Structure 1
Amino acid sequence: MKKSIAMKNNLEKLKNEAQVLLDNNKVEDAKNKMEEVRTLKAAIEVQEELEQEEEAILAAEAEAEKESEEGSTKDSKNKTKENANMIRAMIKKVTGKKLTEAENALILPTTTAPEGTNGEGYILPQDIRTLIQKKIRQYKSLRDVLGYMPVGALTGSFPVENFETVSGLVDFADGTDGEDEDEIKFKNVKFSLQEKAAFIKLSNTLLSLTDNALINYVVDVFARKAVVTENTMGLAALKSNKTVKTIADWKALKSSINKDLDPGVLFGTVIVTNQDGFDVLDAALDSFGRPILQPNPANPTQNLFKGYPVVVYSNTMLPTTNGKAPIIYGNLSCAVCFVDLNGQIAFATSSEAGFMSNTTIARLIEFIDVVQCDSSDKCYIYGELAVGASA
């Protein structure tokens, strides 16, 4: 309730009191009471002005918020249309159709990507690349558990220090050279980005799709293929330079985490296994009959083993062999790293793929490598869990 309304109710009360005093022939008291009435009337006028001012401010703020929301929605729609038009412009360009000046201004040639059959190569818009990365993660990507390093060149290296050789901080003061650099045991991890492409058949039908349908088509086609390729590369890097450790049951897994992994890596430890391996862990009970896997309070769809997330991939991607399910655990983000060209995805034509049907085929190309930064068993273990061992 507005304050002015309460004040008006009080005003009526004062008037009634003044009338009672006058009826009882208490004229002076009635006069004094009327002074209170006049003072309160003046106060009510001021209060109503204040309330009108506040209402005007609130109305202006509400209108501004509404305009902002409408503007945000409009900006989002405009961005979607712009991204779709960029794709259409690239398709028209690579198929030899004439572009308007506005369409030419939309496309961004790539300076590092290999060129298409007619010398063309273009970079997909950042928003679409972001959508592709989100879609890849929806398809259960190893990017969720491995590290990531964006780079600006197709080949190169970066320095890392293994957990087995990591040393403490170096004493250093002004005027001194510190320790000899030979004592700092860095190693260079080399990368060489590979072209990985998805093919899209270009047609007038594709050009006529709605904005969202065109974007979703490009995103889905690339993401489905990219996640298969990236997971294969990531798994190969995880296996590289590792001796497989046999894990008999959940107790052996617990013991290995306690003894094999360096305590320094435990903060980022995850446990990766397939559906068979998860089924074994999910059925396991401790000596008190309690499940050894517990739901994550922060994410009820995720399970924890000793407080570490258990990430499950399909048996197709991580196959069970000879009755043993793969189980990889440790700080995988420090162990293996995806390297790409700042997330760029290029768009170019391919003459080879469409020669049979006399059609134009486009390539969506990412430039990627997956490198092993630390193969130490102190960082992570590549193991095999006996399927059926649940106690």
Structure 2
Amino acid sequence: MNKKLREKLAAINAKKAEVKQLVDDNEIEKAEAAKAELDKMQRAFNLLLSMEDEEGKNAQTQAQAGAMKEPEGGEKKPLTFDRLSRAVVNALGAAVGRRKMNDEDRQIIKDSMTEGTDADGGLTVPKDIQTKIKELRRSDDNLEQYVNVEPVTTMSGSRVIEKEADTTPWEEVEENGDFNETQTPQFASIAYKITKKGGKLLSSLELLSDTAENIMAYLMKWIAKKTRATRNAKIIACVETITSGHEVEVSDLDSLKDIFNVMLDPAIAASSGVWTNQDGYNWLDKLKDEEGRYILQPNPADKTQDLLFGRYPVHKLSNKVLKTAVDSGQHTNTYPIYCGDLKEAVTLFDREYMTVESSKEAGTAWDKDQLAIKVRDRFDVQPVDKSAIIKGKVTVSTAG
């Protein structure tokens, strides 16, 4: 879509908003006049779009005849996001007969694909889009930013780590005396196996009439939201596995201090933080010292963050992400409070491979005039240092 068409489409969208606003304001006559202008603008846009499609068809014919040549020097045009998104939309549209693809679009899609081909217009999302998805995936509720993330290029593998052990001093050796054999370091293997996660989005074919930029932005936000939720769930499950059976009851400030002062190794405590949900944060935020001062204080280096005991960053997650355990029989709620260093405790092995495929004949998509868009993501989450994280539990009564 060229610049002129994009400008006209923007004007059409603005006119649509104007018509809706006039209707909301009960200016019906003005709304009808604006709607007539909108119809005229839409017809002009459709005419120009059909001409562009015709030009694309002519360009394809010329290419088949050998008339099209690469720019001087044999250099290809740079693959910008606008060119890529337009090619993706045209490819999706071609699958349902709503768009036409020229040779440039086909070459972009061909160059962008890194693995596999789908008979009905399968598309593999290139790395520049993956980067944008990663950016959108970041949020306060993104646990991936707190754990160790290791990019991998294989579907399975292992990492060797040193087992935690007490360090004993060297033995005394007399002059001309014999050296005794000492215990060698012990190691453990952390194995990972990349598995496939994914989901499907059903969208009306009218979505394809939107601009390429809007479609890609919509898809990326949806993909980012789903991948963030999926990775959060796997990380939380991993932490739950590490701490299962070793939870610590937290009832006051002293029990929290026991975790950081005694239960965590000093080296881990130095880089530790706190992760809890809204309920747990609310409980922490109400704690006061003997002089009536609240324990949580703003971080001088980051006013949006609180510190526990003036040194441990507190990360508040949504109750939807990190759930409160509800026991209706005992009339209690239990808030989770994770203390420690998640980067030392958990590693996410990221295959960094994501695919997006489309089909108009998947399931009920054909019957309902929809386009099915399927997303795959591949990664694995494994525990590494099980002593680097401790789960505290705050149990409160809900009995009236």
Q: TM-score, normalised by structure 1?
A: 0.67
* C-alpha distance in 2 between matches for 1:368 and 1:95: 32
Deviations 1:339-381 (A, max 9, x none): 221x2321224689534644442212111211111212xx110
Residue 157 of structure 1 corresponds to 158
Counterpart amino acid of residue 382 in structure 2: V
Query: 2:210 aligns to what SS in structure 1?
Result: coil
Aligned pair in 2 of structure 1 residues 350, 381: CA closer, same or farther (>3 Å)?
farther
Aligned pair in 2 of structure 1 residues 116, 233: CA closer, same or farther (>3 Å)?
farther
Pair 1:256-2:230 in alignment: no
Residue 273 of structure 2 corresponds to 270
Aligned pair in 2 of structure 1 residues 93, 151: CA closer, same or farther (>3 Å)?
farther
Query: RMSD across aligned C-alpha pairs, in angstroms?
Result: 3.2
Q: Mapping of 1:26-41 within 5 angstroms?
A: none
* C-alpha distance in 1 between matches for 2:152 and 2:160: 13
Residue among 337, 340, 354 paired with 2:350 = 340
Q: Mapping of 1:32-181 within 5 angstroms?
A: 79-92=80-93, 99-107=101-109, 108-111=112-115, 115=116, 118=119, 122-138=123-139, 140-162=141-163, 164-165=164-165
8 Å contact 1:268–1:333 — kept in the other structure? no
Aligned pair in 2 of structure 1 residues 350, 158: CA closer, same or farther (>3 Å)?
farther
8 Å contact 2:202–2:365 — kept in the other structure? no
Q: Mapping of 1:314-329 within 5 angstroms?
A: 314-321=318-325, 322-329=332-339
8 Å contact 1:147–1:334 — kept in the other structure? yes
* C-alpha distance in 2 between matches for 1:146 and 1:332: 5
Query: 1:240 aligns to what SS in structure 2?
Result: helix
Aligned pair in 2 of structure 1 residues 124, 251: CA closer, same or farther (>3 Å)?
same
Counterpart amino acid of residue 165 in structure 2: T
* C-alpha distance in 1 between matches for 2:256 and 2:227: 32
8 Å contact 1:330–1:380 — kept in the other structure? yes
* C-alpha distance in 1 between matches for 2:83 and 2:182: 52
* C-alpha distance in 2 between matches for 1:93 and 1:368: 32
Query: 2:138 aligns to what SS in structure 1?
Result: helix
Query: 1:277 aligns to what SS in structure 2?
Result: helix
Query: 1:198 aligns to what SS in structure 2?
Result: strand
Pair 1:300-2:303 in alignment: yes
Counterpart amino acid of residue 165 in structure 1: A
Residue 26 of structure 2 corresponds to none
* C-alpha distance in 2 between matches for 1:182 and 1:87: 60
Task: Tell me by how many angstroms 1:137 deviates.
Answer: 1.8
Aligned pair in 2 of structure 1 residues 298, 340: CA closer, same or farther (>3 Å)?
same
Aligned pair in 2 of structure 1 residues 360, 211: CA closer, same or farther (>3 Å)?
closer
Pair 1:285-2:299 in alignment: no
Pair 1:372-2:393 in alignment: no
Query: 2:218 aligns to what SS in structure 1?
Result: helix
Query: 1:217 aligns to what SS in structure 2?
Result: helix
* C-alpha distance in 2 between matches for 1:205 and 1:267: 55
Larger Rg, first or second structure (1 or 2): 1
Residue 14 of structure 1 corresponds to none
Structure 2 unaligned segments of length 5 or more: list them.
Answer: 1-77, 169-180, 326-331
Residue 247 of structure 1 corresponds to 250
Counterpart amino acid of residue 200 in structure 1: L
